Amino acid sequence: MNETADIKNTGLRGITVASSRICDVNGNLGKLIYRGFLVTDLATTASFEEVVYLLLFERLPSAKELSSFRNQLADHRNLPSDIIKALETMPKDALPMDVLQASIPMLASHDPDIKNASQDASIRMAVNLVAKIASIVAAWDRIRNGKEPVMPKSDLNHAANFLYMLSGDVPDDELTGFFDTCLVLHAEHSFNASTFSARQIASTRAHIYAAITGAVGSLSGELHGGANTRVMEMLKKINSVDAVEDFISEELNAGRKIMGLGHAVYKVDDPRALILMPMSKKMGER
């Protein structure tokens, strides 16, 4: 009975399921490493496109390769019209992660390489997903707020284009830079729950869209990416700086979790949080 309870509370935490050369998390030292690069260095020196290239191809791109890769992402941004129509049929209060999870299999139906298991086809599908997931999220936010989706601009980088598709206005350099850094910091985190889900599905030789669909479902849980939603709900409930201490004490005394950014694997500060905190302060002041 106790063993079952422990499994229920911890899941696969601490269990080695595979090895990876893509990412390393050192929780004791508070280090997050992509392909041998500290994420704290990448966040200040590399763009999101460069980091995606690094994760896919195991090295940072040359200037020519980066330009070509940015063009590839831009070429994949447009959504098929029937996916837009499907989004328009969704209840406006549908959860964004559920909408995203439902949309990704539709991308598979429009991919001519869906039965091609080659590495080149897999890379192209990965690029397609990086580009189109941003378009799906932006389109859904506008549709659920009664607005028409904004078509992507090919001359903007990934971060700026996403913000443009959300608001309809081209963002300034500071805002674009903040969001680009956020994307870099969230690009990879080794064997978290969603990565495990994707790897397990892919091991059956299911296509990449099926694997990412399962990963999004895992990510939506409140003990994973869904914690972000819980944070927003918590902030709205607290409502005032003066109410923070009483709220935290009440939650902890009741044995409830305090949601926030900071993975449980870190025994010291989450290195991403140290970068995001001053950025969020600046955004709040703006």
CB 65 within 8 A of CB 53: yes
CB 138 within 8 A of CB 239: no
Query: Model pTM?
Result: 0.89
Q: Which amino acid is at 174?
A: E
Cα separation, 56 vs 119, whole angstroms: 11
Furthest-apart CA atoms within the chain: distance in Å: 59
Contacts of residue 135, defined as CB under 8 A and 6 or more positions apart, other chains included, come to 77, 78, 79, 152, 165
pLDDT (tens digit, 9 = 90+) per residue, 82-117?
999 999 999 999 999 999 999 999 999 999 999 998
* Higher pLDDT among residues 50 and 230, named by residue: 50
pLDDT (tens digit, 9 = 90+) per residue, 75-91?
999 999 999 999 999 99
Task: Over range 45-72, report the average pLDDT.
Answer: 98
pLDDT (tens digit, 9 = 90+) per residue, 118-162?
999 999 999 999 999 999 999 999 999 999 999 999 999 999 999
C-alpha closest to that of 202 among 131, 122, 94: 122
Q: For 52-87, give one letter per residue: b (16+ CB within 10 A) or e.
A: bbbbbeeebbeeeebeebbebbbebbebeeebbeeb
Measured CA angle at 284 (ends 282, 285), to 5 deg: 65
Q: Which two tokens stand for residue 182?
A: 């956020």
